[in-house]
């Protein structure tokens, strides 16, 4: 072989360049959600396959989840069926998604234990009304597309996303050297905030917070340190985690939690009670879990005169008080960016303007 085909390179420089290229691809194409539609690549592939390839919508009959997973694997999803089904389940879980993107039938997870998911052959699903909004005018080429991994289809780079999913649904994701964490917000408040920005592009974070008050959790729960919401909205990252408590009532010596904090599960709370039994025995008389599907109800009987003591112990030693943090790294125009709440509104409005232009050009 001629020496012309051999190039000498420093192995450290080559390894660095290769790793940076790999890390960039992981972040931009898989691990971090896009600001325009708020979706991870895996979520987008599932929703696009259901709506565009399988011609489903919210008015369709549900299909078996193993059929939906198989179709997604055959069109665009290049990982395994188990991970694909896991992504599908999370988009249907009403305790994780403030506005679920998939309407599911069967055991797709509960707040008792998120691993309690039935096999995909026993469950069914279809797109929710919010996914229909995400796909409006898709046939009119409103967004750029790219080849799927097998070259058979053209999948969307982002969805048209009339529904402001990036702002309304919280999510957690992790990539190489970068992670994402965001909380859900109320759709009505978000729309009012978007309208306020359109009417006054110079509006500041305090102005937006007159409309978007803070996180709005799927099944309730209260942020204790509300003053720290401003920094999270202004910078996209909260240096002080927001403390979230479940909603509860007190009747005599009985404390009843009717919700538990966002992203917490009852089985973990029970484990924490057992682990700290010596701490609780001085104030806790009895405990019972009267929850049912879709409704939390944890009943604690306090010893006489120990209601406040028991309440403080529950908040200290269990997930009935927990923390959430904002770390809103999104992909904006193909590049990772830490986004404030206003940055996300700007990205949404800019995206919708381009979608409208593209649809109009197709109509012409």
Pair 169, 184: CB distance under 8 Å: yes
Among 208, 199, 135, smallest CA distance to 167 is for 208
Give the position of tokens 């409704």.
295
Beta-strand runs (E) in the chain: 63-64, 102-105, 124-127, 145-147, 154-156, 171-174, 179-182, 222-223, 242-245, 248-251, 254-257, 284-289, 298-302, 321-324, 329-332, 335-338
Catalytic residue, chosen from 77, 122, 153, 230, is: 122
Name the burial class of residue 167, with classes exposed (0-12), middle (13-18) and buried (19+) by CB atoms within 10 angstroms of its CB: buried
Which residues, in sequence order, are CB contacts of 68 under 8 Å at separation 6+?
46, 49, 50, 54, 88, 125
Q: Check if 122 is active-site.
A: yes
Measured in degrees and rounded to the nearest 5, phi and psi for residue 217 equal: -80, 150
Alpha-carbon gap, residue 313 to 309, rounded angstroms: 6
Which structure tokens are listed for 212?
A: 């978007």
Which residues, in sequence order, are CB contacts of 273 under 8 Å at separation 6+?
280, 287, 317, 318
Q: How is 145-161 classified by DSSP, letter by letter?
A: EEE-TTSS-EEESS---
- For the annotated catalytic residues, the residue numbers are 122
């Amino acid at each position: 072989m001629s020496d012309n085909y051999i190039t000498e390179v420093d192995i450290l420089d080559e390894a660095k360049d290769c790793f940076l290229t790999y890390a960039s691809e992981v972040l931009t194409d898989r691990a971090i959600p896009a600001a325009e539609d708020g979706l991870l690549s895996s979520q987008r592939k599932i929703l696009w396959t259901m709506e565009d390839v399988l011609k489903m919508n919210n008015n369709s009959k549900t299909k078996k989840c193993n059929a939906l997973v198989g179709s997604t694997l055959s069109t665009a999803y290049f990982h395994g069926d188990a991970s694909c089904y896991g992504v599908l389940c999370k988009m249907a879980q009403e305790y994780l998604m403030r506005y679920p993107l998939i309407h599911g039938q069967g055991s797709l997870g509960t707040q008792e234990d998120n691993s309690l998911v039935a096999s995909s052959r026993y469950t069914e699903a279809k797109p929710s009304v919010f996914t229909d909004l995400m796909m409006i005018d898709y046939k009119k080429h409103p967004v750029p597309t790219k080849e799927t991994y097998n070259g058979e289809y053209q999948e969307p780079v982002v969805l048209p996303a009339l529904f402001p999913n990036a702002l309304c649904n919280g999510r957690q994701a992790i990539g190489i050297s970068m992670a994402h964490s965001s909380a859900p917000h109320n759709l009505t408040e978000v729309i009012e905030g978007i309208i306020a920005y359109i009417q006054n592009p110079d509006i500041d974070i305090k102005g937006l917070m007159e409309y978007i008050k803070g996180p709005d959790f799927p099944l309730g729960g209260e942020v204790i340190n509300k003053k720290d919401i401003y920094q999270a909205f202004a910078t996209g990252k909260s240096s002080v985690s927001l403390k979230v408590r479940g909603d509860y009532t007190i009747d005599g010596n009985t404390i009843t939690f009717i919700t538990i904090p966002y992203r917490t599960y009852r089985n973990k709370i029970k484990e924490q009670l057992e682990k700290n039994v010596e701490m609780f025995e001085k104030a806790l008389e009895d405990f019972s879990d009267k929850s049912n599907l879709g409704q939390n109800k944890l009943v604690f009987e306090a010893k006489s005169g120990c209601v406040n003591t028991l309440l403080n112990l529950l908040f200290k030693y269990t997930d009935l008080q927990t923390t959430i943090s904002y770390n809103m790294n999104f992909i904006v125009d193909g590049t990772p960016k830490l986004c404030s709440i206003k940055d996300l509104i700007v990205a949404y409005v800019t995206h919708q303007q381009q979608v409208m232009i593209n649809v109009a050009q197709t109509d012409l």
